[in-house]
Chain A
Amino acid sequence: MTWYRIWAIFTRHFYLYKRSLSRWMAIFYWPLIDLFVWGFITVYLRQAQPLSEGGKPVSFIMAFLGALILWDILFRSQQGISITFLEEVWSRNLLNLFVAPLRPIEFLTASMLMGLFMVTTATLASAVLAWLFYSFNLLVLGVALLPFILNLVAMGWAIGVVTTAVVLRFGQKAEVLAWGLTFFFQPISAVFYPVEVLPAWLQPVARAVPATHVFQGMRQVLHDGTFPVGELLAATALNGVYLAVAFLFFYWIFAQVKELGLLLKVGE
């Protein structure tokens, strides 16, 4: 073993960090996300007894497994769009597609359908396994389950469209977003704990996230069995706004990409 060769390979990778903010962010990103999520979970567990007073005691297993399955819906939905796009980038196929009579909206719609396919497959598998191994029946969420899923899919689409636009504009250095942006919302989406666990100043931010209302609604169904009309209406309204903004953002970026001729270069 020679150290100069090891040093050569080390420097080869370290050079990447010299000019890459996204790589430095990736180093700190996941530990921070984990720290916040698990920190708030700990706070929730400490406060859980008072929160369950006045209704059925919250089953942590049910709440956590339900949250886990629903969170995966959001993640898969976003991944469906982002990975569909990245597959074209990696295979240097993007220019072939856009010199064909393909409209950006058609490309995005196909990607969203792919996201829906991934969500359906993954959710069915998770739900069956949760039922087999932990006796957790996702259908306990009742008629609210479908609107919950649709809202999470819609939020995943909005994040996916935004990440696609950013990768289209900034290339492979922005790929990290495709893998991690959804998790940015996890600590403030009240996935595993109620929004009230968050610091007061962060709660309005959390309530601006559609997923927060889905997870609050899920706990409402599990807690007292009532249909969370208000939470679902809020999630749907927010998703409508964010999807519209995401599409406008994509078209704005696509115009820039055509101005700069980046379709040929995006995979470099």
Chain B
Amino acid sequence: MTTASDRAPVSTDGPVVSPAVAVEAVELTKRFGETLAVDHVSFRIAPGEVVGLLGPNGAGKTTILQMLLGTLLPTSGVIRILGLDLTRHRETILHQVNFSSTYVSMPASLTVRENLMVFARLYGLQHPKERVEAVMKLFEIADLRSASGRGLSSGQLTRVCLAKAFLNNPRVLFLDEPTASLDPDIADKTRRLLRESRDQNGTTILYTSHNMQEMEELCDRIIFLHKGRIIAMDTPKAVLAKYGQANLEELFLLIARQGVAP
């Protein structure tokens, strides 16, 4: 993996100190007209913690991720990332954060290497060529460096997007269904990389997935959302014990079909 020196430079509006809390949402609320998409959600994620955000479709997962990334303004509430208020220090924070989603892609007319170089420049990396080579090797896409996006399978494209997400060696990583289109082998390798990033670099990871087994295996804690509200937030084992379910799959079905009071 990489060292802290590979990280993107910190912007001029103040350095990011080592905070006790990596991601903090306080009474986060988002309303779209009459629809309350996120309803007074509060949570804290410690540095180096892997937290899974799960819930049925429309539970508010993507809305929360968008607000944490600053691409969607909350109706009310406060977001602090690495100890800094997102509203006031967005640029500083974004140098230390990255994101990947199955719902976004990259220009298909550019080669894998060109795409990654664009983002390496956007994050102001000091040694962009070396870093791009490193992440391509990390995600086993080095042999695709000259391939255009059109020639990639969806699994390969997902790996390119994940490589992009690791370019600036982020301290906080937001992932929206990162393993959705990967075959079991690459999905397993991706989970291993996420664990290594956490263990070696202290990367904080918040991610969504519909793969419940993956959630149980990878997450230190899970945040279970239903209709925009947190109904459970604890270790997977503790949440399962609370609801008397054998695994997250069963718990998910129970909540999606019957609803459970928080």
Taking Cβ atoms with an 8 Å cutoff, the residues of A that contact B are 87-88, 91-103, 258-261, 263-264
Contact = CB atoms under 8 A, between A and B. Distances in A.
B69 A100 contact: no
Chain B interface mostly: mixed
Contacts of B235: none
A101 B71 contact: no
A172 B80 CA distance: 34
Which range holds the interface residue count of chain B?
20 to 34
Interface in B73-125: 73, 90-91, 94-95, 97-99, 101, 103-109, 119, 122-124
Contact of B122 (A88, A97, A260, A261): A97
B71 A96 contact: no
Contacts, number: 71
Given A101-B123, A258-B71, A258-B73, A264 B107 contact: no
Interface in B159-192: 161, 164
A93 B106 contact: yes
A95 B176 CA distance: 12
A185 to B, nearest CB: 31
A260 B104 CA distance: 18
Contacts of B107: 87-88, 91, 93
A94 B104 CA distance: 8
A268 B123 CA distance: 27
Contacts of A93: 104-107
Interface of B: 8, 11, 32, 62-63, 66, 69-73, 90-91, 94-95, 97-99, 101, 103-109, 119, 122-124, 149, 161, 164
Contacts of B32: 260-261
A95 B101 CA distance: 10
B103 A101 contact: no
A61 B90 CA distance: 55
A99 B123 contact: no
29 contacts: A87-B107, A91-B105, A91-B106, A91-B107, A92-B103, A92-B104, A93-B107, A94-B104, A95-B99, A95-B101, A95-B104, A96-B106, A99-B69, A99-B70, A99-B97, A99-B98, A100-B119, A100-B122, A101-B90, A101-B123, A102-B122, A258-B72, A258-B73, A259-B72, A259-B73, A261-B66, A263-B71, A263-B72, A264-B104
B120 to A, nearest CB: 10
A101 B122 contact: yes
B164 A96 contact: yes
B16 to A, nearest CB: 12
Nearest to B106: A93
Contacts of A95: 71, 99, 101, 103-104
B108 to A, nearest CB: 6
Contacts of B11: 101
